[in-house]
Amino acid sequence: MIEFHAPAADAPELALSPLHRAAMLTLQHLVETGPIGLTPNYAMKRYFVTWAAEAFQWPGYLPEDLYAINKVLNEHDFPPLYALHDLLLSAKLVRRRKGHLHITKFGKDLLAHPGSLWIALAQHLLLASGHDDMLDVEWVSVLSAVNVEAHEGVSQTDFCRRLMGVEEGDYHLRSLIYVHVLRPLCWLGLLHDAGESRSERFFTKTALWPVALTFEDQPPLPPVTRH
């Protein structure tokens, strides 16, 4: 059995989650500045995307990274913001009304309780989001496997082979596992991508992992030796 736990509101481990930080900043912006304007296609308007890129400081999507390939930023040019927008809607933390994005009462409540906000984000990102038809994710099994495989660190290649039986040359399935399994866990702050390049991804569990997750049906894992 796996249990999710809400970290304490002042838990320093929450800072390891770029998704949690971005959600907090977005909800605070809605409270302090007001509704966010939307385009006719329901995307966040450029002024907010520009602000978010600077405010979030999202690893791998820093402003200099984004502007290196875009002269101006639209929501789809900033993938984490695009995902966050959908996540906030699905978790009912925000709603669309009259061409703007508004914070809900539930969103205001969770803004005051950061640990509970992290739980809501985790549940909707991992359990309520859709997946590619070729990748059926059973999160109980996946998280149990990650708990063991990433205890001392695991490469993407080894993880894909051990968990899904995916060979190194099957780039499509490797990409799906990264997008739907490994990247969400990194965005939640549960895993850290210590690889030096996209072709050499190496994942380790973060300090947030034992704070937020317990595995009652697994024996205790040995202490991790760091060199």
- Residue whose token pair is 């080894």: 158
% of the chain with per-residue pLDDT over 90: 64
Distances (CA, A) of 167 to 113, 158, 208: 43, 9, 30
> pLDDT tens digit string along 175-206?
888 988 999 999 999 999 987 666 678 999 99
Ranges of each domain in the chain: 12-128, 139-215
pLDDT number for residue 106:
98
> pLDDT tens digit string along 39-83?
999 999 999 999 999 999 999 999 999 999 999 999 999 999 999
Q: Above 70 in pLDDT, residue 163?
A: yes
CA distance 21 to 15: 7
CA distance 10 to 14: 8
CATH hierarchy code of domain 139-215? 1.10.10.10
